[in-house]
Every structure is written in C-alpha cells, then in structure tokens.
Amino acid sequence: MMEELQQFGSLSVAHRTGGAPVELLRSKDEVVFLAFDNRIRRLVELHVLRGGGTLDAALKRSAFDRARQASEIRGHAFMRILEVGEDQGLVYYTSNLNDGEYAEEYVKRRGALSAPTTLAMVYSLLDDLLQLQGYQRLVSHMRLDRVLITTLEDTFLQLRVVDYGLSQMDGADDTRDKTRLVVETCRLLFLLLSGQPYFGENPDKILILTQLPMSLRISIRTALTDPDNAPSSIEKLRDDVREAFSALASGAQARNLRKQLVVNGPLMPQSQLQDLLLENVPVETILGTRFRVEDSDQARRYPFSIPAINVKADQPVTVHLLPPSRIVEKTRYEAVPLQMWRFNPDRHPNILRSLSLWESPDWTFLTEEREPGFALSRLMAERITLNTTEVLVLMRQIRAGLEQAVECGVQRVDLHPSNILLRVGKNGPLQSRELERLMQKRLDAWPVFMVKLRPHMTMRSLYEPLLVDMDVVESQQMEEHLQNRDFRHRSFVTLAAYVLTGERQSGGVPQFSETVPDAAAMYVRECVELTRRAGKTPPPVEFLEKFESLLSAPTVDLATRLRGSGSSVAIEEMESVGSVSDFEDDWSHDEADGAGGEVAISPVKRGMKTHQFNPLAEQKSAFPWGVLAAAAAVVIVGVAWMLMGGSKPAPAAPAVASSVAEGPGGSASVPAATTPKKAEEQTKAVSVMARTPVPNPQPQPAPVPAVQPPAVTSVAVTPATQAEGPAPAPAVVAVPTPPEPEKPAGTVAASTSAPAVTPAPDRPASPPEAAPPAVTSPTKDPVTIRRAIVPSKEEIDRMKQGHVENHTDKVPSVSTASPLPPQRRENP
C-alpha cells in the first residue's frame, strides 16, 4: 500500500523518477514521506505512526493529545507540527520540511567538533527544552539520540529534534524519562567531542573529555557507564555545560554562544533535500553552460538559491531551483505572476525583479537580479527582535511595496522574512564584513536602503511555513479579490508582530519586550487576534497610523495602570493595614463635625477626612500664640534697630521734618529711612538736634507727596507721663500691613503713606494733649522719609524659626519721631 501511495487526504505524495514515493528518514517508529499540502500550498513531511499499522484506542488518544501540544511549540530547535488527522485507519501528522544532516553522519564525514562549538550547540538545545515547562508530557517522550544538525538562516549551526516519540505510550515514571534524556544528551556530547559513537570504552581515556570541568566529566561518565544511576536533572546538566563552555572559551568575545556557531565552509552541513531532489547530480551539471557558479561553498550553503554569473551577459544573478513535476505539479503553484509585465523599475522600486524563467521536464530555473544586501530573516537571526522605531521604518516601505505589487497585478505577496530583501551596502571584497557590522546598528542609523519584496516563487517559499494561514474558514465564502485583500492585511499585521517579538506567533499570544509601550503592545495583540477572523484586520495604513500614535502617547502613571481605564477601585480593597499620622488629632476633631453631613473619604482609611497641608494657623481655631510670639520678636528687633539709628538732616534747617498722623489714641507715627553708608552724617544730625530747642505747636496735616511710598503701620510705645520723670523715646517699628480700611468720621490723617496708629493693647491710650509734638520746619516744606526700615524676608524667616541673632555689626540709627530726652541735650 505504501509503495502505491499517491494521495493521502489533502496531501499529494512526491515520487522519484521510477515512481516510488520519496521517503525521509526521521524516526524508527514512523514512516515519513515527502508530500505537498494542497490546502496551504507547501511542501511538508507526512509522518505515519507505527509504520502504517493500526493503533488501539488508548495509544491513538494519547498520540492525538501530544501531537496537539506539539503544534503549539514555536522554536528553532523543534520540528513544527502543522496538522494531525486520521485517514483510512492510519494516524498521521504533518510537519514543516526539515533539511540538514544527522549528527552521526555529520561527524563521520568531517570529524569531531571543537569543544566550544559543541558545548554551545548542546546548551542551546537544553535551554530550549527547559523553556517548555507546560509540555512535560511531550518533552518526556522526545528522542535526543538522533538529532538533525541544520542551520538557522544559513548562518548559525542548530540542533533540531525531529522525533517526538508519538508512537510510544505514556510512561508512568517521569523520573526515568528525564534520566533517559540526560543519558541521550551525554551520548550526543561524546559523539560530537570525540568524533565517534560510544561503544562502551572508558570515557577517562578520551583526551578531550579529561579537559572538561569535574562536574560535567562526572555526569558524562556516570551516564555512559551506569545509565540506571545517571542524574535526572536536565537543568543541572545545562548549568554544567554552560560552566564548561565558560572555562574552555577564551576571551570575552569567544564566550558569546552565538559567535561560536557561525557557519563557515568546513562546518556547513550538507543538504539532504538537495541530494534527494537532484538525485545526486551536481549543481554545475544541471546549470550547464548558461551559468557559472560563483562559489562552490556558497552553492552548498544555499542549496536552492545559488549565486552565479550569467555567462552571456556577464551579470551577477541568483539562480533559484524549483522542484520538478514529480515533486510538485506545475499547476499547484505559479512561478512568476502572469501580469508582471506591468513592472516598471522607476514606479515600483520596492519590487524585486525576476529576469528569466527556464522550464524543463525535470527542473525549472528562475533567475533574479542580485544586489548587495541580505534578507530580513538574516537580520532577525542576528538581532532576534527589532525596536519600535526600526519597525516603523521597515513597515512603511513594506506597505509601499504591497501597493506597488497590486499595481503590477500581484494580488498576493508572501510576506515571509526570507522573501523581504534589504538592499544596502555595495559590492566588493569587503561586502560580507560590512554587512555584518551593519547588522549590529539600528535601521534608522543605516545609510539609505531599499526594502524589496519578492513576488515570484522560490524553493524556500515552497517549504517554509507561512507566518499567517492562507485563508481562514470564514473567508472561503468571500469573493476572490476580497480574499486577496484580507490576506494582505493579515500578512502585514502578522509580520509586524513577528519583527517585534522575534517569534512566529500564529496560534499563540505575542509577548513583547519592555521597550514596547503597553498601549501599543495591547493594540498589536488585538490586531493579531483579528487576523483569525475574516475581514476584520485593519488595513496597513490604518494599522501604522494607530501604532505610531500609541508610541507617541503620554505615559500612563503606575496608579492608573493598576486601577485600569474607566474602572473604580472599591474602598474595601484599598483599606490600610495600619498607619501612624502626625495629623490624627486634627482629623479626630473634625470627625464629629462631619458626622452629620457627607464627608469625602480617602482610600487610605475609613472615617478619615482628606487633609490639605495648609499652615497650622489656618487649620486650628485656637488663639494664635505662635503668630503673636513671632510678632513680638519682630517688634523687639525693630525697637533695637530704631533706637540706634538716625535720619539725614535737612540742608536749610537743623531740625528734621516728618509727616505726622494723629490717631484716636494720640500717638504719632513717622516712617524713617537710614542707610549704613551714611552713618557719620546721621550721627552729626543727632548732635545738632540735641542742641536746638524744639517748639510744641499744634499738629497739622502734612501735604500729600507726589510719589507715595508703600503703606506701612508704625507700632509705637506710648511714653510715660511727666509725673513719672523723663522717659525714653518711644520706639517706632514699621511693618507692612494690608490695605487700610475705611476710616471713621473725625479721624485726621496726615498722609496716605503714614496711616493712623492704634495704641499698644497692653497700655491705655494717652489723651490727645499728652501726645508728643511733631518736629516741623518754620520756613521750609516738610520732608517726608521715602521708605521705612523693614526687616528682610530672610530675617523674618529666621525669627519665625527661633534663630534670632543680634545685629551688632550693623550701624546704629536713632528715630526722630519724638523729641530727645533732656539728659541727652546736654551732651555735645
């Protein structure tokens, strides 16, 4: 039955020249064929469990469950399962087409690998295994004794698991399965390091094994000589491999795992698929005399994409080999779109042009122009992910390429990373080195580059899995042009999610890095979810505009993100476990007042009113003793300042005239102004005034000056009566006051700059006749002091804090608001 197999469900099985199906060697418990899936239009591997035998109900159910789990795995180290089904009593599954060389055949052909390269490959494999935390049932049945050595984007070496053990029953002993995985990994290490399989020899006699650290040496020796007592911890084995790599790799640059896996000529694994499809015919023989292979190593490195020279035109081109009709029928795919004759290089710069198409009964040759640069898949293998700015730069050109492809008549373009070329750099002997340096830089820091989309078919396009499904189930009822438009939209969104995350997320939830804003990441997740519904995906223009606006949106604070948009948090969920507050007395007094009305409750504690941090005097209703104490301190300092100061005498008279205002209490006030620079003149003025007799006329209002000084209030201390003997001169202190209220009738004001003064609260007001007379000039106009001596803001702040210092370094001045005592007149 297997020899005559032609069609298996929706799969068309490939055949050799003689008519036998093309069989692949994967697992000893499975029969694997090369087939073409007509639904997704891709070359796949058809795995039939138990060699085509029947399975009982328990094994069939177990195989189905584990195969569905395996279909969710997205990793370069694992075979990707695409479909699971049953046909004619046979249980099968399909996977992507894997190309490479098995480890045993690879070592037999080229010999042992270096220790750093071997340890780097095995460490990557073990690390990927440990990432599958939720698939322990699947991981425990994987086979690591027969792994495939392949390349990642034709650049880095990679170990790939191709046997999931789905033909085996579930094991009851999980520890035994983990021990088996450790033993198979140690056998793989022995094979790659020594260059030969293990046949029971003593590991301590292998020179390369004796150079390993003690921990890894003991693990390998125990696993090879006594498998039943081998360790069962895969995580510990991975750590031992990492430690050995750090010990054997020299230099900081060499300790980078990725640098040890770069492929060169001797390390390149041979392509089994190329030998299988070409049937061991050399590439040079197939190309004939039309093309000359530029480099044999490059031809083996890219088995179906060969850099060559067109002999007739002496032009560098890329030759793509397409499969013959016995592998894939010509009617199943279109090598070059029929309407590509509309292509214009000037109008469509983002389209990669195909030059010629040669068809034969066995093979099809397709040539395209070769320009400096590399594919997007190569950049993703080096960078893993791109940041948001690079994604915008890249996706804008891809959007333009899709629009140009529609103008050329190409309705569907496969937006796979291998079909997107970045044209950058220049030809020459240093091209490879320049491109490697360029890959380490950001795309927005590159020189001018061009993104080119490949609209025609290649062999890699026939076996690489799509980023997005061809058509969802709902879209099958739509018209063809609507299906094509929806496919473009879904492909564009899926590609944007891929370059942001670095993983092909069809079937999973994208996980973005911390550099992507939460709003933008949420929007991309929503769009990826919409790709699974027909006709719901936004077009590329709308997607880019929305994505760019979310990148420049203001950052939401942590409290809003925790609370969520448009949602309120219940008070019960925000209650405090306990708190100590300095304002608990204030809140306790206010609780009784707010008990009757509606009080705004803070989310910190129940029954606690919101508190605004105003000055303490505005919150308490008690008597403001603190303010009075500060005012008393200001008065004392002002008295000391005014008693030691003086004023500048008038040039025509020895007496100093000032504006006097008599209030209800009979006290007088006058603003005085002195400066430390004229201290000597003020001292002389005081001496002259002491010798001059002062008359005592009736007080009269002074004329209002042209320029009014700022309003001040003079607080005066009422002098003692004449019966008490000579009293000291009253102290006058000027402090700023708010605008003066309306005065009652009968109040006489001398000037707007000298308002009425109320007596001190602790002494009774003196009668009007006891008020000291004002000093006036008989012949000259009165002189008004222009500004008052007011303590600075810094001094007032220090006074309020209790840090008052004696200003002994200042020049003293004397106030002339009242006559000097008689005893001072006798002094010269």
Mean pLDDT, rounded, for 406-431? 84
Token pair of 317, please?
A: 């081109």
Predicted pLDDT at 692: 46
Residue with tokens 């599954």: 93
Q: 55: pLDDT confidence band, cut at 50, 70 and 90?
A: confident
Sequence-separated contacts (24+) of 285-291 with Cβ below 8 Å: 286/321, 286/363, 287/319, 287/365, 290/358, 291/317, 291/319, 291/367
Backbone angles phi, psi at 622, to 5 degrees: -70, 170
Compare 696 and 244 and report the one with higher pLDDT.
Answer: 244
Residue with tokens 């190569």: 378
Q: List, for residues 689-710, the tens digit of each pLDDT value.
A: 444 444 444 444 444 444 444 4
Predicted pLDDT at 217: 92
Q: Which of 161-175, 406-420, 497-511, 596-610 is the least confident region? A: 596-610
Entry field: residues in the chain: 828
User: Is residue 336 predicted with pLDDT exceeding 50?
Assistant: yes
Q: 478: pLDDT confidence band, cut at 50, 70 and 90?
A: confident
Compare 756 and 549 and report the one with higher pLDDT.
Answer: 549
* Burial classification of residue 817, based on how many CB atoms lie within 10 Å of its CB (0-12 exposed, 13-18 middle, 19 or more buried): buried
User: Is residue 415 predicted with pLDDT exceeding 50?
Assistant: yes
Residue 716, strand partner residues: 732
Compare 2 and 191 and report the one with higher pLDDT.
Answer: 191
Backbone angles phi, psi at 782, to 5 degrees: -65, 145
Q: Which residues contact 246 (CB under 8 A, 6 or more apart)?
A: 255
Predicted pLDDT at 636: 87
Q: Residue 781's CB: how many other CB atoms inside 10 A?
A: 12
Compare 300 and 202 and report the one with higher pLDDT.
Answer: 202
Predicted pLDDT at 94: 92
User: Is residue 17 predicted with pLDDT exceeding 60?
Assistant: yes
Q: Residue 719's CB: how many other CB atoms inside 10 A?
A: 21
Predicted pLDDT at 492: 94
Question: Cα–Cα distance between 826 and 828 in angstroms, integer?
Answer: 6
Mean pLDDT, rounded, for 188-212? 90
Q: 802: pLDDT confidence band, cut at 50, 70 and 90?
A: low
Please state, rounded to an integer, the average pLDDT across all residues of the chain.
74
Compare 112 and 788 and report the one with higher pLDDT.
Answer: 112
Token pair of 707, please?
A: 């320029």
Compare 218 and 592 and report the one with higher pLDDT.
Answer: 218
Backbone angles phi, psi at 33, to 5 degrees: -125, 155
Residue 78, strand partner residues: 161
User: Is residue 404 predicted with pLDDT exceeding 90?
Assistant: yes
User: Is residue 560 predicted with pLDDT exceeding 60?
Assistant: no
Predicted pLDDT at 504: 66
Predicted pLDDT at 370: 87
- Do 517 and 500 form a contact (C-beta atoms < 8 A)? no
Mean pLDDT, rounded, for 468-480? 71
Q: Which amino acid is at 115?
A: A
- Above pLDDT 70, what percent of the chain? 66
User: Is residue 718 predicted with pLDDT exceeding 70?
Assistant: no
Mean pLDDT, rounded, for 130-145? 85
- Above pLDDT 90, what percent of the chain? 19
Q: 220: pLDDT confidence band, cut at 50, 70 and 90?
A: very high
Q: Could you tell me which of 361, 360, 343 has the C-alpha nearest to residue 352?
A: 343
Q: Which amino acid is at 433?
A: R
Sequence-separated contacts (24+) of 173-179 with Cβ below 8 Å: 174/136, 174/140, 175/232, 177/140, 177/141, 178/140, 178/232, 178/233, 178/234, 179/227, 179/228, 179/230, 179/231, 179/232
User: Is residue 509 predicted with pLDDT exceeding 80?
Assistant: no
Q: Which amino acid is at 758?
A: T
Question: Cα–Cα distance between 128 and 138 in angstroms, integer?
Answer: 13
Strand-pair category, 81-87 with 291-293: unpaired
Token pair of 270, please?
A: 């041979």
